[in-house]
Chains A and B, each alone.
Chain A
Amino acid sequence: MDSHEAHDPHASVPPGAPAGDLARDLFFPEIVKGMANTIKHFFQPQKFTIEYPEKKKDIPRDFRGEHALKRDAQGRVKCVACFLCATACPSECIHIVAGPTPAAWTDREKYPVKFDIDMLRCIYCGMCEEACPCDAIELTSKFYQVSETREEKYFQKDKLLQQPEKREYPDEA
């Protein structure tokens, strides 16, 4: 046998295997083995599924769900409209209109007059959160995303500011 033949990927029998074993060729014993394994697990007490939506699963800490815009200590939007998230966003779904801050905000000059995210274009990659120099945007653990219209999925500043913030984990404190 030359080496080319030895590695023929289309050969039905692996090289070196004894030919003509009917039981093996029908996979019958393997099927029986597999079913036995399945049936064994079926009667085991531990369950791997949960009864959603009555019960909800613990979301891992790095889960990337719907966005939230965070607020500072005085309840004002933290975002300074630097457009870094919009620049980093691979699906170009963040639309910001910047403007000068209201006169009362003496510590800051620029803020987002509008801040929209088109959630139907978002791929939940989290790049916006990575890019933000002010820790002003984050992806929360909110994953229940049903809506009846497209408009509802076009999140605007007000909606983003009302999103629940990311759950604090004990080890993050």
Chain B
Amino acid sequence: MPTIKVNGKEYDAPAGKNVLQFCLDQGLYVPHYCYHPALTIAGNCRMCIVKGSGPGLRPGLMTSCTLPVQDKLEVETEAPDVQKAREGVLEFLLINHPLDCPVCDQAGECYLQDYSFKYGRDRSRFVEKKVTKHTKDVGRNIRIWGNRCIVCTRCVRFCEEVAGTGELNVVERGDHSIIDNFPGLPMDNLLSGNTADICPVGALLDKDFLYQARVWYMETADSVCPTCSVGCNLKVDTYQGQVKRLRPRENQAVNQWWLCDIGRYNHKFTSAPNRLGLAKTRGVATAATAAIAATAVSAPALEWERCSLDGALARTWETLDKFVRAEGAGAVAGLASAWLSNEELFLFRKFMKLGIGALDLGLVAHQDGEAHAFKSGFKIHADRNPNRRGAQELLGADAAKDGLKRVLDGIRAGRIKAVLAAGGIPGWEPDPALLAALRKLAFVAVLDVAEDAPLVSVAHVVLPGATWVEKDGTFTNAQGRVQRCQRALPPPGVAAPESDLLQQLLVLAGKREKVLSAQGVFAELAAEVPAFAGLSYRDLGGQGKCLGAAADPAVAAR
């Protein structure tokens, strides 16, 4: 392995790797704009300049991103002439830069701002009139402020190499160079939102987030995307109790650096006015054991009454219990959704089996979408559920596959009289046959997140649940990787994560003493469910772990 010297210290470095990435890997920060590990090297910003010397190399300043590691290479990253050169590069970049920082959404996470502060000079020597460039929409979601662009071409290379759609290009020359669409080709690819993330300055901004919040006010939680079974890792940025944007979080095993637009913008439902913040019931208050079944009125014909959360939980348990006593455990069935976390699916099954003794469990899931694949290998799955794989493991493969059909048949045959359904699915259009069947039932209790959700329309008891940003837990993606999502916000009103609600039902059923955190439930789950054996909540960390040790190379190596 070649030995190179960086700032006087010797390192063994892999031959051919670029010196910039090598330095970054060692924790030696070298400022840079145009280099991105996912993209081909352009070497156009000159920010990554270092002082280098070595065999066959003319000693002097050179860009470290284009400098391959070779034996006996010597590099200095903080030499006085390097610092002077950086200052010069920044001064050039600012010649035509508007310094819009007060109204620029990038301010606070802008590399031009940060580097100018750290490496730049505090005033400009240029008095010439600035060149002005266009501000326009380059795609459905993204707008360019040409004046702010430093022409690093990250966005161009992204569209070319990652999305494979190549909508953007540099037009004009010299200091008039500017990013524009190829004529008639708007940047509407499904990865377009990433260009705003990789743009080092405020030139490409997301219209969805525009002026929503100054970035330094936002709080961030690490999470995963619930919109399809890929389970991209992401960050949830919130401001004043609302999700303002989702950003990708690097995970080489799942989404590399990216996030698709379908998932990126699918967070509006978390703060929609139709969120359920209160529990409500209709027509269960005075129902007596046998009478329920005999005189049952279908839910839609009844008036809602407000109810405390505890009251609604108690009514749910009591009524289900009455059905079991009167009609046998087979009269109660459970429907869980593929949007529930692993812990919740586990608790759901536990409540249905231990608390009720129910025979039939079914899985409801969001209708499939379109699958997409991109040049870089990034994929969007047709399965628009975050946790179908988890449901297969935790409800049982059989229940996940045919359970729903069995429940439907049971209802139609009149055997099943009551149903507990858990897990709101945003934007779900259920099979009308399912709703029609549920509508006829004597008792339906629902854990959901939206006032106008399909299941709420057929329910007798509604328990307000939490969306994925409001709970801690884990999801299992299609490749079997168990990944954590962190709670970013409190749920609205008295709503609570389904895992709390289900544990309270278990407490009412006398099958549990107290409500545990997601971590506590996960420990229980890992001990009881063979597929999850050996996993611990803490070990999942930020990147997740695959089900079954053998499937995960990292675990297998241990």
Contacts and interface: CB of A to CB of B under 8 A. Distances in A.
Contacts of B103: 80-82, 108-110
A15 interface: no
Nearest to A96: B214
24 contacts: A80-B102, A80-B103, A81-B103, A81-B211, A82-B101, A82-B102, A82-B103, A82-B214, A83-B214, A83-B217, A84-B102, A87-B214, A87-B216, A98-B211, A98-B212, A99-B211, A100-B210, A100-B211, A108-B103, A109-B103, A110-B103, A110-B211, A133-B102, A134-B102
Given A82-B103, A108-B103, A110-B103, 6 more contacts: A82-B101, A83-B214, A84-B102, A98-B211, A98-B212, A100-B210
A109 B216 CA distance: 20
A125 B212 CA distance: 28
Interface string A98-136: 111000000011100000000000000000000001100
Nearest to B107: A82
B72 to A, nearest CB: 50
Interface centre among A80, A82, A100 (most CB of B within 10 A): A82
Interface in B191-224: 210-212, 214, 216-217
Contacts of B211: 81, 98-100, 110
A90 to B, nearest CB: 15
Q: For chain B, what secondary structure do more than half of its interface residues adopt (helix, strand, loop), or is it mixed?
A: helix
A112 to B, nearest CB: 10
Contacts of A98: 211-212
Nearest to A132: B102
Which 6 residue pairs spanning A and B have beta carbons closest together? A82-B102, A98-B211, A110-B103, A83-B214, A133-B102, A80-B103
Interface string B453-472: 00000000000000000000
Interface in B70-104: 101-103
A91 to B, nearest CB: 16
Contacts of B217: 83
Interface in A68-84: 80-84
Contacts of B101: 82
Contacts of B216: 87
Interface in B204-252: 210-212, 214, 216-217
A87 B212 CA distance: 15
Interface residues of B, number: 9
Main secondary structure of the interface of A (DSSP, over half): loop
Contacts of A109: 103
B238 to A, nearest CB: 16
B216 to A, nearest CB: 7
A145 B197 CA distance: 47
A113 to B, nearest CB: 9
Contacts of B102: 80, 82, 84, 133-134
Contacts of A80: 102-103
A87 B214 CA distance: 10
A116 to B, nearest CB: 13
A18 B211 CA distance: 77
A133 B210 CA distance: 20
A81 B214 CA distance: 10
B134 to A, nearest CB: 14
Nearest to B105: A110
Most A C-beta atoms less than 10 A away, residue of B102, B103, B210 = B103
A134 B216 CA distance: 20
Contacts of A81: 103, 211
Nearest to B210: A100
Contacts of A110: 103, 211
A141 to B, nearest CB: 27
B375 to A, nearest CB: 34
A66 B13 CA distance: 63
A108 B102 CA distance: 12
Interface centre among A98, A108, A133 (most CB of B within 10 A): A98
A110 B211 CA distance: 8
A109 B217 CA distance: 21
A108 to B, nearest CB: 8
A80 B217 CA distance: 17
A98 B244 CA distance: 14
A106 B103 CA distance: 15
A84 B108 CA distance: 12
Contacts of B212: 98
Contacts of A108: 103
B144 to A, nearest CB: 13
A134 B103 CA distance: 11
Interface in B515-539: none
A98 B102 CA distance: 12
Interface string A31-70: 0000000000000000000000000000000000000000
B481 to A, nearest CB: 39
A100 B105 CA distance: 12
Nearest to A99: B211
A99 to B, nearest CB: 6
A93 B431 CA distance: 51
A133 B211 CA distance: 18
A133 B99 CA distance: 12
Contacts of A100: 210-211
A98 B103 CA distance: 10
A142 B365 CA distance: 62
Contacts of A83: 214, 217
A72 to B, nearest CB: 15
A77 to B, nearest CB: 14
A99 B211 CA distance: 6
Contacts of B210: 100
A133 B102 CA distance: 8
- Give the one of B212, B214, B217 with max A CB within 10 A: B214
